[in-house]
Structure 1
């Protein structure tokens, strides 16, 4: 009986961590979804890639060990923040210029890759920490992936609904949201 409660306690902790990490994908998905003109297929592709990164990053962290986690622990916030500042600044620039110039669109492979990496990079540090006391790697990886993917699609859908109401200002507001989160990651 005691063993079952410890395992359910561990499962609850893993799911809470998965939700905490997935909330980044949700809130940033709102910002990207505000871009407007995003189809459901694109949203599913972005969410799938986020789910994949939410599985790969903690897996890499689990195997990287304590030393690498201590070495990179502070750098991950700067890297995630920098990527979000880049994407948000690019969205603002394009909204300001009226869509002229070349875009890093979140539905293009590079845009999906940068966005997925930026919302999943903190999973690496969490994976390093979890690797020290949790044995069930498969449970962690699947939980993080499923929750991250579901929360990102919910955020993207909500962002699209807000964008429909805001019209052309949706991309500008989405860029501002990404920049705010980028600054929060850095500081």
Structure 2
């Protein structure tokens, strides 16, 4: 049980960092939107090990060959878009994009949140594959991983809301940079392991 909790914390690290940066970049963040974001991250961290386990060992080499590129691409795209809009807004001294108004909840809009949850949960797919190969059950560990991620992301969102007060107009630049750096970290870790 303790092992599953530790795996949950390890897998939740990227989702935590994304939660912090996303909350820091959102002008208005009602509690329910933050709850929805934490739920999405937790749900994906719950589902991906199950998907990996179901795919089994037959696909492990195939998936491990490009999972890091997918995570890097998704996080790089979202983070790069945030950076571009923040820099453009600073030049024009106006809001980054009408679509990112406080009403739309910025980066935590459902379509962007889906991409972020997917990108931060790809490693959980590999964990599910390893559970299959080792003959371990997957349902209880996946549930623990999902709940751990949900709770960690709730904390991250609250921390990000407080961080926004400190960063003010630099929050979107910091958040976009963090997303790009997380994507690079995932890519470098996997490439340095020879995958």
More deviation, 159-168/93-102: 93-102
Structure 1 residue 73 corresponds to structure 2 residue 74: no
Contact 1:36 1:164 in 2 (8 A): no
CA RMSD in angstroms, aligned pairs only: 1.6
Structure 1 residue 100 corresponds to structure 2 residue 97: yes
Distance 1:161 1:41 in 2: 17
Distance 1:13 1:74 in 2: 26
Distance 2:87 2:151 in 1: 32
Choose which of 50, 56, 75 in structure 2 pairs with 1:84: 75
**Correspondence 1:22-61 to 2 at 5 A:** 22-37=12-27, 38-61=29-52
Q: Offset at 1:102? A: 4.9
Contact 1:46 1:107 in 2 (8 A): yes
Match of 2:150 in 1: 149
Match of 2:178 in 1: 177
More deviation, 68-77/121-130: 68-77
Q: Offset at 1:110? A: 0.6
Distance 1:180 1:93 in 2: 15
Q: Gapped runs of 5+ residues in structure 2?
A: 90-95, 189-195
Q: Offset at 1:106? A: 2.5
Q: Offset at 1:46? A: 0.8
Report the TM-score when normalising by structure 2. Answer: 0.85
Match of 1:186 in 2: 187
Distance 1:26 1:125 in 2: 19
Match of 1:113 in 2: 114
